[in-house]
Structures are given as C-alpha cells and as structure tokens.
Amino acid sequence: MTKHLLTIAGFAAVVALGGLSAASAQTAAPAKGAPKAAPAAPAAAATAAPAASGKELYAKAQFDILLKERLAAGQPDTPEMRNAIRDELNTRELLVREARRKGLDKNADVKAQMDLAAQTVLVRAQVADWAKANPISDAAMHKEYDTIKSQLGDKEYKVRHILVDKEDEAKEIVTALQKGEKFEKLAERSKDPGSKANGGDLDWNAPANFVKPFSDAMVKLEKGKFTAQPVQTQFGWHVIRLDDIREAKIPSFDEVKPQLTQRLQGQHLDEYFRDLRAKNNM
C-alpha cells in the first residue's frame, strides 16, 4: 500500500517541476560530476602544447562559471583545483576546434543537441529570474504549513495491515485471527511487499497519510483490536490492526521552511508554465 508521509520526511517531498525542473537539475550535474572529471583534464591537456605552456584558449567568464560551480559543490579553492579548471577548459577548446575542423558542428543531430543545450541555459535563466521576481511570502508559507498541519491531525497511529486481492480471502484472515492465529504470521499472505516481512507493520502515521476508507476504519479501532470486517480500498482488501496511539509529532515551521519554500515555488512555477502555454494558445 502506498503511503504518503507528511512528517519531516513528508514535508521534504516537494512538488516536481516536470521537464523544466529536470532541466534545472541537469544543469547542476556538471558541478557535482566535476570532481571526478577534473583529474582527467590535466592528463588530456598534457598532450597539448598550448595547455602545457600555460596559454589560455578560453574566455575568463567560462573560467569564472566553472570555478563558481566547483565551489558551490563544496570543493576547496586551491591552486590545484584552479589549474584543473584551466586544463579542462583548454582541452575543451581544443576538442571543439577539432570537431569544427571535421565539420561535426554542421551535423544535424549535433546541431539539434547544441540548440537544446543553449535552450536549457536560457530556460534556467528565465526560471531563476521569474522566481526572483515572484518570491514566496512568509504568509503563504505559514498558510501552507497550517493547512498540512490540520490535515495531519493531533494523533498518530501505529498500525498493521494485511492486504489481499479478494474479500473472501480477507474474511478468511479475520476468521483465523478470531481463532487466535498470530497477525504477524498471517501477514505473510499480504501482497504489500513493504510491510509483509515485518508482520504487516506500517509504523507510526497520521490518518491523512492513508486513503480515507483505511484511515476511517483505523481511527475507530481500540488499541490491540483488528477490523472485524475487511476494508476495501483501491489497493484491495485490508485487515487492519491498531497497535498504539500517541500525540502527533509535527515539525516546527522553521524546521520545514526550506521544504515549504520549494513546495510553493513548484506550485507557482506550474501555474506560470500553464499561463504561459495558455497565452500562446497551447
């Protein structure tokens, strides 16, 4: 059964930005991958006279961009790191010159990839510019926090379940429990791979973390009791047992403020993308 946890981990599950967010993520990848790639650059550049002699074949702006990316990725600012960037940029330029000499830049597929790469840079710049001009207010984040908090409720439930495909099978499990068989043993029949190995244990959750038929049945149970009638959801038929109840542990606003910012930025960007498409009759 799929769980949607809105504890600290759940708050951290932010809204995906679709293709555009993926593009933004991809632009961050070079910075993360650079520590692995950097050692190879000097070796390649060692065969090129311009790089070995200290000649710079690149624009300073390119050096500054890569330096900023490396530092943002956590690399220390050392002479060795700066030299690695210089060697990498020189090697890139030499390879570009070779590619152009062979006419590879005229290849249709290569041109299309170059266009997409340039588009990705512009997309990232536009998204960043729009987000800067449309910041998320504290009031909006507090409202979102209060909404999620109210959905979670003030109690958490430690619950187990056994999930099967057919009602008759679920009724057989209920009958076996009434005869004294162990819930944990019967849970081996569950089709939920995430909990069957742990005796059906779903750990602590707020009611909002489950689909409504499941949570409605769960909150009506007394501790140590199981559902006398199977509960149907879109996942199948459940036999549910409530192990314990406690006061909910909701993270403070300050703890989840970064995740709330990302969540709301994602929602606002989705609205911006939809408006942009609508304005262009798409």
Checking if the pLDDT of 17 tops 80, the result is no
| pLDDT for the residue 163 | 98
d(CA 120, CA 181): 60
Residue extents of the structural domains in the chain? 16-133, 155-247
Instruction: Find how far residue 272's CA is from the centre of its chain.
Output: 21
Lowest mean pLDDT among 38-52, 70-84, 199-213: 38-52
3-state SS, residue 281:
coil
pLDDT tens per residue across span 218-255: 999 999 999 999 999 999 999 999 999 999 988 999 99
Q: Which long-range contacts (CB under 8 A, 24 or more apart) does 255-259 make?
A: 255/8, 256/8, 256/11, 256/12, 256/145, 257/141, 259/11, 259/12, 259/14
Rounded to an integer, the average pLDDT of 192-203 is 96
What are 163's strand-pairing partners? 238
Q: Which two tokens stand for residue 169?
A: 């099978």
Checking if the pLDDT of 21 tops 90, the result is no
* C-alpha to C-alpha distances, 218 to 64, 180, 246, nearest whole angstrom: 58, 21, 14
Question: What pTM was estimated for this model as a whole?
Answer: 0.56
The listed CATH number (3.40.190.80, 3.10.50.40, 1.20.1280.260, 3.40.50.200) that belongs to domain 155-247:
3.10.50.40
